[in-house]
């Protein structure tokens, strides 16, 4: 089978981890007889430097001609001027909105061999396997008005949190559908005690739950959810939340897995909002970590989140479940043998480099 993939490395450690992901993808293609045509594009801070645009027309053309997107990370201190007209993050925000990538799936899986690397008590981590469904194209990140202004007395800023019934329904339905394929438990996260959007979210979740009598729905306030994720993470199966809450909660949940460098994500736009056909448009796959400028160029970044994002792409965009599972099993084997990058190494052990981790995963896949 032939697939076209847009490769957008971005800034910081993005190019480093995406190189290892491409390495693994090529091995999968050779082993299973698939052709992956890779087309590279600029995005983020590097694109601003080169084109004065965080997502130039050349990159958009590349994406238009692709079946899926592998994305690294964007941003860094170089482009942090609060007065700048454009920021690296504008590129990825534009893609999410223009491609209608409203459903962001973030699996939080604790590998048995990494339980001791987490600061959380090991007895709390057994069996933790969560998938967070984050709404990705609404809420505070996209609401209008969004601006800053200065009066004669002080500086001011405003961001708008707005959600429509349509936006809430379609993301909740994906959460319910995923719950049906797992343990049939759905935790819906809101702030209904304070926010009107939270009250609407909770009301719609309750209404939709009537169409899914086999799924146990639990409403949880986001502050309570943030505590329970640490105190009792195994209680969760599928979590669904609005944009900002999902962003924060998944960063918190990465502590369970030992490192943010372990967490992949898939940003999807389903052709039909009830998610029954499983057919999707061009989708984007990325690790949840940022550009990590403090370690960029040092060869110590963890590429596993990026490589697992490849596994998600094979599954969701290309329907290659066997190939996807092969990557997961190989990573589990590598970790069980004690190989670790710096972020997940145990005290006294010697970490391996970004490149070495990619080489090991590739070599084991070939076997």
pLDDT of residue 276: 43
Output the pLDDT for position 85: 85
List Cα–Cα distances, 109 to 33, 118, 272, in angstroms.
Answer: 29, 12, 28
Residue extents of the structural domains in the chain: 1-108+267-367, 119-134+162-257
Residue of 100, 129, 159, 251 marked active site? 251
pLDDT of residue 135: 97
pLDDT tier, 348 (very low <50, low <70, confident <90, very high otherwise): confident
Q: Using 50, 70 and 90 to split pLDDT, how confident is the model at 271?
A: very low
Q: What percent of the chain shows pLDDT beyond 70?
A: 97
Q: In the predicted model, is pLDDT for residue 221 greater than 50?
A: yes
What would the pLDDT profile of 294-307 be if each residue is shown by its tens digit? 999 999 999 999 99
Average pLDDT of the chain is 94
Output the pLDDT for position 188: 98
216 by Cβ neighbours in 10 Å (0-12 / 13-18 / 19+) ranks as: middle
Confidence of residue 277 (pLDDT cuts 50, 70, 90): very low
Give the active site residue among 141, 163, 212, 316: 141
CA distance 334 to 55: 36
Q: What is the crossing angle of helices 321-336 and 354-366, to 10°?
A: 120
Structural contact between residues 321 and 327, judged by C-beta atoms closer than 8 angstroms: no
- Pick 119-134+162-257's CATH classification: 1.10.1060, 3.20.14, 3.40.50, 3.30.450: 3.40.50
Average pLDDT over residues 271-275: 37
pLDDT digits (tens, 9 = 90+) for 52-67: 999 999 999 999 999 9
Domain boundaries 1-108+267-367, corresponding CATH code: 3.40.718.10
pLDDT at 341 over 80: yes
Q: Is residue 7 within 8 Å of residue 21, measured between CB atoms? A: no
- Taking residues 328-356, what's their average pLDDT? 94
CB–CB of 84/265 below 8 Å? no
Contacts of 339 (CB under 8 A, 6+ apart): 352, 356, 357, 360
DSSP 3-state of 222: helix
Least confidently predicted of 217-231, 261-275, 286-300, 318-332 = 261-275
Query: With 50 as the cut, is the pLDDT of residue 200 above it?
Result: yes
Q: How confident is the model at residue 281 (pLDDT cuts 50, 70, 90)?
A: low
> Quick one: average pLDDT of 213-227?
98
Confidence (pLDDT) at 127: 87
Predicted confidence band of residue 199 (pLDDT cuts 50, 70, 90): very high
**How far are the Cα atoms of 29, 280, 289, 300, 330 from residue 6, in angstroms, in the given order?**
16, 16, 19, 25, 25
pTM: 0.91
In this prediction, residue 280 has a pLDDT band, given cuts at 50, 70 and 90, of low
Q: Is there a catalytic annotation at residue 4?
A: no
141 is catalytic: yes
* For residues 272-282, average pLDDT: 48
Residue 251 falls in the annotated catalytic set: yes
Predicted local confidence at residue 40, as pLDDT: 97
pLDDT, position 279: 46
Average pLDDT of the segment spanning 298-317: 96
- Which residue of the set 11, 42, 190, 247 is catalytic? 247
Per-residue pLDDT of 141-198, as tens digits, reads 999 999 999 999 999 999 999 999 999 999 999 999 999 999 999 999 999 999 999 9
223 is catalytic: yes
Among residues 223, 274, 294, 363, the one annotated as catalytic is: 223
Query: Does the pLDDT of residue 273 top 70, yes or no?
Result: no
| Burial bucket for residue 40 (CB in 10 Å: 0-12, 13-18, 19+) | middle
In whole angstroms, give the CA distance from residue 156 to residue 366: 57
């Amino acid at each position: 089978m032939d697939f076209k993939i847009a490769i957008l490395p971005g800034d910081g450690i993005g190019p480093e981890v995406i190189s290892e992901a491409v390495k693994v993808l090529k091995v999968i293609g050779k082993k299973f007889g698939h052709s992956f045509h890779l087309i590279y594009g600029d995005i983020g801070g590097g694109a601003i430097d080169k084109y004065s645009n965080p997502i130039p027309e050349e990159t958009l053309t590349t994406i238009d001609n692709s079946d899926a997107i592998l994305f690294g990370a964007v941003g860094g201190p170089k482009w942090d001027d609060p007065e700048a007209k454009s920021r690296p993050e504008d590129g990825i925000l534009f893609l999410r909105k223009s491609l209608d990538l409203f459903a962001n799936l973030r699996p939080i899986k604790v590998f048995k061999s990494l339980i001791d690397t987490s600061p959380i008590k090991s007895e709390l981590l057994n069996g933790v396997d969560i998938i967070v469904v984050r709404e990705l194209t609404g809420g505070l990140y996209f609401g209008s008005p969004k601006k800053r202004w200065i009066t004669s007395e002080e500086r001011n800023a405003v961001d708008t949190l707005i959600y429509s019934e349509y936006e809430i329904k379609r993301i909740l339905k994906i959460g319910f559908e995923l719950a049906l394929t797992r343990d049939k438990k759905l935790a819906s996260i809101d702030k209904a005690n304070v926010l009107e959007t939270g009250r609407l979210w909770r009301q719609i979740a309750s209404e939709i739950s009537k169409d899914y009598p086999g799924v146990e729905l639990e409403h949880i306030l986001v502050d309570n959810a943030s505590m329970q994720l640490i105190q009792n993470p195994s209680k969760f199966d599928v979590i669904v939340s609005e944009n900002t809450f999902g962003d924060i909660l998944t960063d918190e949940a990465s502590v369970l897995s030992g490192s943010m460098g372990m967490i992949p994500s898939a940003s999807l736009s389903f052709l039909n909002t009830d998610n029954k056909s499983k057919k999707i448009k061009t989708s984007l796959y990325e690790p949840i970590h940022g550009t990590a400028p403090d370690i960029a160029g040092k060869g110590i970044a963890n590429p596993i989140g990026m490589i697992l994002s490849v596994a998600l792409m094979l599954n969701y965009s290309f329907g290659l479940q066997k190939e996807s599972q092969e990557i997961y099993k190989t990573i589990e084997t590598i970790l069980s043998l004690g190989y670790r990058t710096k972020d997940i190494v145990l005290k006294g052990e010697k970490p391996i480099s970004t490149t070495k981790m990619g080489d090991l995963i590739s070599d084991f896949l070939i076997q």
